[in-house]
Structure formats: C-alpha cells, structure tokens
Chains A and B, each alone.
Chain A
C-alpha cells in the first residue's frame, strides 16, 4: 500500500509537469467473469470443501501511455477486480492474501461478501533511440519463443490455466536492448533474483535465441528456435539449470511444438514439454499454481493439443487438451467466443480436470466460465 501511494504521487507529479511535447494515450476494457464449479464429492468430504460453488468477478483494466518527445515514454497499467462469491468469502488456499502479496497491489474494499482489489502490473519508463532501448520499472519481459510453456521465460512465466489474465504479470527490472543489425538483438535484464542475457538472430528463415543467466542461485543456459517445416510452424525451447554449489539437482527442461493452418481456417497445434525434475502438484490450485521457467507445468512428460476454428467470422470455437504421460492428469478446455457487437465479445468456456487419486483417475473439478468483455 505504501508503494502505491508513493508511485501515485510520482505519477501525478510527472503528469502535472507535462510539457507541450508530451502526448498522452490510453485504452481500457471491462469484463464480467462468472464461474460455476463442481467438485468431486469424495475429495470434498476429505478436504471439507463444498461440492459446488460460484464466483463472480467484475474486471476493469486501464493502460496509460505517456510519450515525452521522441525518445522517452512511460506506461502505467492498473488491473482492478471486484470479487463476490465463494473464493472471496471462504478464502480457500489463502485466496485474499495472494491478491495482495505484491507491493503494488491493495484491496480498497474488503468486506465479508465483497472485495475490490487493485494491482499495478506495468509501471515503467523507457528510453529508446536508434538501436538502443532501456526500460526501467515494472514491465513484462517475455522471452519465450514458443507459443506456450516457455523454459526461457525466466522473469514472467505464464500460467496457462489462468486464462483471464491476458496480459500476465510484470516484473520489477531494468532491461537494456541493443540491435547490432536488423536481424539481431542482445538483451540484458536484471531484477532482484535474476541477471540474464538473451541473444537473438535470424538466419535461414529461422529465429534462433541463446540464453545465459544467473537465476536465483543457479546458472542457466538456454537455446530456442522458431522456424518452419514446409508450411508447418516448428518451434523449440530448451533450458539447463545448474546449482552454483550443487545443492539441488541439475535441471533440464525443453519443449517443442508444431502448428498448422489449414486452408478451411482450422488451426491445430501440438506442444510437448519434458522436464527431469517433477514438482508436487495440487489439481485444486490450477489458477494459483506457482509457475516458473523451470515449472510451466509440473509433470515429467507433458502434451498439449490445441485446435481453433472460425465457424463464422463472429464465432470462434477452440479447445485444448493437456495430459501427462501416464494420464495422471488430464485437462480438457473447450471454448466458444461470440463477437456480439463491434466492441463486445461473449465467451463460454469450461475447464475439466481428471487426476489420479488413490490409484484411480477421477474427475476432480469442473468449472464453467462465462465472460462478457467490452473493449474501448
């Protein structure tokens, strides 16, 4: 909370001292997400949880951009959400605390049945000239070359299951990018736990990237590519982590993917991820799951299949199937999106997961989401 006040003060000061050369731009969207969840009765008894519940969320996102002349710019983005329903009221798995465990997040309303949370997830200043770009502050450093499951996303790993956070979190860092040639870039980024560099080059119709980092107390090397096999997209991303004092095992994690657009508009993709160090996984905490470059998904062998099709220009259907090698975890996520009006979309989606519980794979949880979104 104290950070929020300080930052707001600095931002107000900056805005109030705007010169004639300064340009301001902003955009925003609002959405309403409702979810209906059904929980396995045996597990519900075991964990003293209800067998079904509902959640409602009103979401408002605002992105502000300031351009101070040609070279310097700044972005501030605020994500505000109003919660009612089970998660807020019953606070399972420390839901409320998770919302505010970040220095730039706070609850402006915190009552029994309703809560309002605000989070500043972008707040940076940027200097950009010719072949240089320097960015300081809370920003998204998106180093993955794969579409999903990115062992190179050291700073901001995404959680595939948390689909409502389109923008994904930011990190407090300084990042310097230099473009030595049109087909190359070198980036160095530093935050409180990570010092990392990424070199990118385009050759033979492929993008290649090389990662080196000190990641917490480990050294990390990575290699990735994005190219094509005939008309199919072909991507790969690998990382190797070695503990500096051999306290933990060396970890290897790699993913490859293929994707293709058929002439009739069907898009298919296949992604495979292997990691040698598996981590404990709680199927009830899909959205709160701690993901990292070493753990975009917890199992040893992971498979994802995706499909998308525009039935009409206004209606898009799609889905994802994720599972591990032994089918100890199976996740199915069908989705349909309607463009109701030029700026309004309506989505219905369902997340269903099956997990192995005492030697038997059972449907663990089913959640149905409806989301109405206005873009401005």
Chain B
C-alpha cells in the first residue's frame, strides 16, 4: 500500500512537472514562433533622467539572433549576432567584427535593467531549468499559473530561480520574478498593453523593475512584430551582420 501510495505520489509529481513543462513550452513557442522580426524601443528610466534606444531584432528559435541598434546616434548601426554559444559585435565606425567573451551575456544590455540574456535569450527556460506549478492568480483580469523555474546545477544561466506568471488562456508571460543564486529577488518584469500583432496576441509593453532600486525601471515596447518570417540559419552570418539596415 505504501509502495502504491509512493508510486501515486511520484507519478502525480511527474504529471505535474510535465504539465508545468508543457505550459512553459507552449508559452515559449507562442512568444518565439519559429522565427520572428521585431522593432522595439527600450527606455531606461531613472528618477532624474531617462535614455531611449531603438533596435531591430531578428531571431530563429533560441539559437540564432541579430540585434541592430538604430538609436541613439552614437551607437547607430552596431549589430550583435548570436549563433548558438557564440556572440559577435559589429562596430560600423571601425568596420570591425569583435568576438565577445561568453561572460558578456550576464551584462546589462547597454546600461538598461535587461541583461543581454533577457534580450537574446541565450539560456533556455525549457532546458536550463526544472519546472513546477506552485499556484495561480489573476493578472490584468487574466487567470494565470504561477510556475517556479529552478536552474539545473550545470546550467550556465544568469538566474538561480524564476517565477513565471503564465496566462491560462493564451499562454502569455504576464509577469516574471528573477532571483539570484542565493534566492534574493533581483528583478520583476510585468507585461501589459496586450494586443494583436498580425494574428498573434502579445503584450506590447514589458516593464523590468529592479527590486531594490527605487524609481528605476526599463520599459521595452514592441512597435512591430512579425512571426514565421522567411529566414533560416544561413541568415545569421558575419556577412549579413555588415549588411543589416
């Protein structure tokens, strides 16, 4: 009987973990699509000043991406290319491709509250973490699952733990809480302004707030988003890095 109970508990845990994984997977697939192209603005807000950047981004799955900086003028034309585990930076002023150290991924994205990893999504919320449903709640009138992601021991990731609030109907990531390896809450991300881009429903605004820094936040706004565009792996090359406009 005890064995049966244990088996039952284990299997229900496995089913639950599978559910959590499936929810994250559906959410990740929904957000990413097979490929996408987006134009966005990133505004860094501080109590006494703000700065705005404009970028264009192309992505294929989680492995390949381009980010082209369009503003401010100082950095216009700068490109970041990611191919699997490698990252390069194109500096148009000196016409040079610079290979960046992998540790660059943990850095803040050009002074904002987003890390490079948040934008380029090097680490996969699917494969680098274990998943567990820990509750539910309602955000912006949408019922949400709360799923806890714990970093696998050998995963090279920025966060030790992430709590994701995923909308039950459309699998939108309505909010995320990012914890460091010691379990301290570092950043919170809130989604809003939910609307259709083509036939896809998405939050157009993401607000990243550092937990301990009063008056600080970074607001990312999608101006356009196209899904399943006609690009493949061979688009993400150093050759095209110099051609992006």
A residues apposed to B, CB below 8 Å:
27, 29, 128, 131, 133, 139-140, 142, 144-145, 147, 166-168, 179, 182-183, 185, 202, 205, 207, 226-228, 230-233, 235, 259-263, 265, 310, 313-314, 339, 342-343, 345, 375-376
Contact = CB atoms under 8 A, between A and B. Distances in A.
B108 A265 contact: yes
Contacts of B239: 131, 133, 179, 182, 185
B22 interface: no
What range describes how many residues of B lie at the interface?
35 or more
B102 A27 contact: no
A231 B238 contact: no
A343 B72 contact: yes
B101 interface: yes
Contact of A168 (B76, B94, B111, B237): B94
B99 A313 contact: no
B237 A179 contact: yes
B52 interface: yes
Interface string B91-120: 001111011111110111001100000000
Given A166-B94, A226-B99, A232-B101, A343 B106 contact: no
Interface of B: 44, 46, 49, 51-52, 72-74, 76, 84-86, 93-96, 98-104, 106-108, 111-112, 156, 233-234, 237-239, 243
A343 to B, nearest CB: 6
A182 B85 CA distance: 16
B98 A260 contact: no
A29 B72 CA distance: 12
Contacts of A376: 73
B94 A259 contact: no
Contact of A231 (B51, B86, B103, B233): B103
Contacts of B107: 261, 265
Contacts of A232: 101-103
A235 B73 contact: no
With a 10 A CB-CB cut-off, give which of B86, B96, B108 has the most chain A CB atoms: B96
B73 to A, nearest CB: 4
B102 A345 contact: no
